[in-house]
Amino acid sequence: MPKSGRCLCGACTLVLAGPHNWVGHCHCDSCRRATASPVTTFIGHPNGHWTMDGPIGRYASSDGVERGFCQGCGSPLYYRSKRYPDEVHFYATLLDDPAAVSPTVQFHAGETLPWAGALTTLPHG
Ligand SMILES: [Zn+2]
Ligand SMILES: [Zn+2]
Reported CATH class of domain 3-111 = mainly beta
Ligand 1 centroid to Cα of residue 78, in Å, is 13
How confident is the model at residue 39, as a pLDDT? 96
Total-model pTM: 0.94
Ligand 2 centroid to Cα of residue 46, in Å, is 18
Q: Residues with Cβ < 8 Å from 45, sequence gap 6 or more?
A: 16, 20, 21, 87, 88, 89, 90
- The ligand minimizing its distance to the Cα of 25 is 2
Ligand 2 centroid to Cα of residue 106, in Å, is 10
Q: Identify any residues that bridge with 65 across adjacent strands, giving them in sequence order.
A: 62, 81
Ligand 1 centroid to Cα of residue 23, in Å, is 23
How confident is the model at residue 1, as a pLDDT? 86
- Residues 91/50, Cβ–Cβ less than 8 Å: no
Ligand 1 centroid to Cα of residue 60, in Å, is 19
Ligand 1 centroid to Cα of residue 14, in Å, is 12
Ligand 2 centroid to Cα of residue 123, in Å, is 28
Ligand 1 centroid to Cα of residue 77, in Å, is 9
Distance (Å, rounded) from C-alpha 13 to C-alpha 49? 14
Q: Output the tens digit of pLDDT for each of the chain's 125 residues.
A: 899 999 999 999 999 999 999 999 999 999 999 999 999 999 999 999 999 999 999 999 889 999 999 999 999 999 999 999 999 999 999 999 999 999 999 999 999 999 998 989 999 99
